[in-house]
Amino acid sequence: MNILTELWQQRWLFLTFVRREVTSRYSGTIAGGLWALGQPVLLLMIYGFVFRKVFKVGFPELGEHSFVAFVACALWPWMAFQEGVQRATHAVVGNSGLVKKVHFPHELLVFASIGATFFIHFVGFMVVICALAIAGEPFRFSGLPVVLMGWLALLLLASAIALVTASFQVFLKDIDHMLGPALMIMFYVTPILYPTTQVPESVRWIVAFNPLVHLLEPIRAGLMHGNLAAFGQLSLFIIGGAGAVFAAVLLFRRLSDYFEDFI
């Protein structure tokens, strides 16, 4: 509880950090926030072209939906997760001036970095989903509660992971190099470009170990079919995620006392 009250007292600092993250990412660019949308949209177009036009991929799960809409539902949450973890891993090291000279809870840097990334991509997600819906994609907005829960669980998961990687990164610079390939593999083993049902039965149990499966699939099912079945499962993930973040903060704090010496 101590940690929670302390973090609550620092809410102004947190908001300032987040605002700084969001504005700085696109300051000096002409297109500004459009870049946040541009990169995933470009990826989406490439995937659409390669898989739909070249490979002629199709599966029954698509139903009345387009392949682009199918990928879009999972691509933005994935981008938020991947970019959030990657950026937040550098949050402590990248703010060495602050860490060495000013007293404040260092985990705020990680939370702010994750928060800013999720904010940007969540906005992008909403824009793209709305744009597709206007273009005639039959999304079911009744699935919105599950979609939001999926995002929240994803945010907690990314925060817990990033707290560990960001604190380890101060001591071992290898973390950063390991993270790139690890996230790339994760992208392909997570059902973003394909549904879980397309995975061969024999290895499907391995896929079940990937927590992202249990978060991205409900988001997609919620939007595409208005399926709210994952409500209970996501609730558990949110509770578990909150616990994981709490544990990660405790671990982070064991290391953060020595950041200023190693950074």
Partner 1 sequence: MSGNPVEAPLISLSGIGKSYPIANSAAGRIRTLYSLLRRQPFAERYDALTDISLEVRRGESLGLIGMNGAGKSTLLKIIAGVVKPTAGALQLRGRISALLELGAGFHPEYTGRQNVFLATALMGLSERETRERLDDILAFADIGEHVDQPIKHYSSGMIVRLGFAVATTVSPDILITDEVLAVGDESFQRKCIAWMENYLSSGGTLLLCAHSMFHIQKLCQKAAWIHDGRLQAYGDSHRVTREYLAWHDSKSTPKAQDHAMAISSGTYALLSMSLNGFPSQEGVTVPVGASLRIGGRVFSPDGRVPTALVGFVRKDGMPIYGVSSEMDGHVLARVGAQEYEFEFEVPELSLLPGEYRVKGHALDPEGYRLFDELIGELTVIGESRELGVCRLPHRWNAI
List contacts with partner 1 (CB under 8 A): 9-10, 12-13, 15-17, 20, 23-24, 27-28, 97-98, 100-104, 168, 171-172, 251, 254-255, 257-258, 260-262
| Identity of the residue, 97 or 136, whose beta carbon is nearer to partner 1 in the bound complex | 97
- In the complex, minimum distance from the CB of residue 54 to partner 1, in angstroms, rounded to a whole number: 41
User: Measured from the CB atom, is 112 or 216 closer to partner 1?
Assistant: 112
CB of 240 to partner 1, least distance (A): 22
CB of 99 to partner 1, least distance (A): 8
Give me the least distance between CB of 120 and partner 1, in Å please: 17
Annotate 26-59 with three-state secondary structure. Answer: HCCCCCCCHHHHHHHHHHHHHHHHHHHHHCCCCC
Compare residues 170 and 228 and give the one whose CB is closer to partner 1.
Answer: 170
Sequence-ordered list of residues with C-beta below 8 angstroms from that of 71, at least 6 positions apart, any chain: 44, 47, 48, 192, 193
| C-beta of 16 vs 39, nearer to partner 1 | 16
Nearest approach in angstroms of CB 254 to partner 1 is: 6
User: In terms of CB distance, is 69 or 263 closer to partner 1?
Assistant: 263
